[in-house]
Structure 1
Amino acid sequence: MTHRHDDHSDHGHGMAEDLPRLNAQLGRRRALQWFAGAGTAALVAGCGGGSGSSSSSTTSSAAATTTTTTATPTPTATPTPTATATPTPTATTTGCVADPSETAGPYPGDGTNTASGSTSNVLTSSGIVRSDIRKSFITSTTDAGGVLVTLTLTVVNVNATCAPLAGYAVYLWHADRQGHYSLYTAAAESYLRGVQVTDANGQVTFTTYFPPAYDGRWPHFHFEVFSSLSNALSGRYAILTSQMCMPAAICNTVFANTSLYPTAASIFSRLSLSTDNVFGDNTAAQIAQQTPTFSGSVAAGYTAAAVIGIAR
């Protein structure tokens, strides 16, 4: 616009004067065209820079995405072993409870009561430390008979994430297949009683027979735990006296053999674990721990296992 105004104001001079002006005007126009071209180029360059910035941003985003994608599997993979490993200590920690104290009953043979006017303390007898308790060992070698059970007990400290307690003594006893107890109702016998000391895994193993049902009582094992063998053999130093209840399904299977267990099936049919005078008031968790797991058969014998929880 300014250039046109200047053209109007200079109109009417001769060619000689107009030529230099025209050349100057053309020069200015070329300059303007150059600047316009430069501006366009700058604008294009600016857009290109924007595109480059956008491209760079996209690349960064892609890189970030790639990094995120790459990083995500790493933590995902890491929790997997952690999650796998975590249940193990948790299961161990929550896998035991303190066994409740139960009555030793009238036939413990641990020096706490009398039988036939004399104190019965089998714990002070030579030979009481034994794994196979099927036979008498004091004045006879009578075999009690019954369905074979190999019982492994694991003694653990419930206050230390169920850590095994080594060097503890366990005294196990129970009735014979007719419901009699050695030293008492089978006074001449000393079978189905024995003491074992826990190994590094807190375990002891007894070879014995399946206990019967008798009037008023669900089939059970009695046991006492001592902090050492010397305390066990001294008698009256038990840190826990309790009992284990037999699984109902195994009871029904075993007691079906009436030649070995002549009265157990009929008695057992009238019993209930929930109304038993020992187990009836225990919690579900206590009953679960007090019930050994069994595998095997009547013909081949059973393998059983249970945990004994001690609060130390």
Structure 2
Amino acid sequence: MDNDDQPVGRILSRREVLRLFGLAGSAAVIAGCSTEVVPTATTVAQASAPTATATSAATNTIAEAATATAAATSTAEVTATSEAVAALPSCIVRPELTEGPYFVDEKLERSDIRSDPSNNAVSAGTQLDINVVVSQIGAGTCTALAGAIVDLWHCDADGVYSDATDRSFNTVGQKFLRGFQRTDASGLAKFTTIYPGWYQGRAVHIHFKIRTDAGYEFTSQFFFDESLTDVVHAQAPYVAKGVRTLLNDGDGIYQQSGGQTILTVTPSAQGYSATFEIGLQI
């Protein structure tokens, strides 16, 4: 069975994303402007009579001033962080995930990956159109990455991969549900495929890989909302396989993704469609 269970890479924290775009530290700079309003103990004491009451009042004044300053600093930090996050470019850094055992570099350039070129048989299933928008992260900006190679591969409605061997199948020589596209000037690569099926040990997913001619490579996986999968898999041909045995929350690779690679799928005239934006640090 599938053994693609080794995590690769990790999810960037918010602080790391801010640092990546050169925005880290802005909250601290803004918050630092408010520290000068804190009165010192000497200043308060000199302005008060040297009595127990005056001393107590001075102490309370210091405490109140410190509390007010802390609140102002916290507010400034939250505001600055929110502004910094809002200033992030539209592209999104995504986590890299394992390639798995079924990647084959077929060098099969095509947008519609549903058919098997050896016999033109089309994989049965609900049509799914996927648009992958690839950007390169720069100094606070995202630039469309043109000419990048985007590979897609996944199992069919029965949970079978093409051009692979497993305990339950041997499809060597077949090439259904595999292919690549180069991104256009806007960083877009378009694919037509089917909604994937499932197999034991994994949640429903699609593998993808992005490469450049200069040798850069990024690999990850798409996942799906479980309620949508319930609807699709209740129909033919998926329903014949029965109820899937593992959902997203039980899939270790999905856990590594932090839910950041779930496709936002919407109904279309042909079936479903989804657009996924990804920013890469190359």
What TM-score do the two structures reach when normalised by structure 2? 0.63
Partner residue, 2:103: 108
**1:207 corresponds to 2:192:** yes
Distance 2:203 2:89 in 1: 27
Q: Is the 8 A contact 1:213 1:265 kept in 2?
A: no
Give the structure with the higher percent helix. Answer: 1
Q: List per-residue Cα deviations over 1:197-254 (Å, max 9, x = no partner).
A: 11121111001000112111111111111113xx7xxxxx551011111121211110
**1:196 corresponds to 2:181:** yes
Q: Give the unaligned 5+ runs of structure 2.
A: 1-81
Cα distance, 1:293 vs structure 2: 1.2
RMSD after superposition: 2.5
Cα distance, 1:280 vs structure 2: 1.1
What is the aligned counterpart of 1:151 among 111, 120, 130?
Answer: 130
**1:219 corresponds to 2:199:** no
Q: Is the 8 A contact 1:92 1:161 kept in 2?
A: no
Which amino acid letter does the alignment assign opposite residue 108 of structure 1? Answer: F
Partner residue, 1:309: 279
Q: Is the 8 A contact 1:178 1:261 kept in 2?
A: yes
- Of 184-193 and 198-207, more deviation after overlay is shown by 184-193
Distance 2:92 2:116 in 1: 34
Higher relative contact order (CA 8 A, sep 6+): 2
Question: What is the correspondence of 1:78-97 to structure 2 with a 5 Å cutoff?
Answer: 93=88, 95-97=90-92
Cα distance, 1:256 vs structure 2: 0.9
Distance 2:242 2:136 in 1: 37
What is the aligned counterpart of 1:133 among 100, 108, 113?
Answer: 113
What is the aligned counterpart of 1:172 among 152, 168, 172?
Answer: 152
SS of 1:281's equivalent? helix
Q: List per-residue Cα deviations over 1:120-163 (Å, max 9, x = no partner).
A: xx12xxxx1110111011x2211111000111011112345333
What is the aligned counterpart of 2:265 among 285, 291, 294?
Answer: 294
Which amino acid letter does the alignment assign opposite residue 206 of structure 2? Answer: F
Q: Give the unaligned 5+ runs of structure 1.
A: 1-86, 111-121, 232-236
**1:272 corresponds to 2:272:** no
Distance 1:165 1:141, change over 3 A: same
What is the aligned counterpart of 1:243 among 221, 227, 231?
Answer: 221
Distance 1:92 1:174 in 2: 36
Q: How many residues align?
A: 195
What TM-score do the two structures reach when normalised by structure 1? 0.57
Q: Is the 8 A contact 1:274 1:281 kept in 2?
A: no
SS of 1:211's equivalent? coil
The structure with the largest alpha-carbon Rg is 1
Q: List per-residue Cα deviations over 1:36-87 (Å, max 9, x = no partner).
A: xxxxxxxxxxxxxxxxxxxxxxxxxxxxxxxxxxxxxxxxxxxxxxxxxxx9
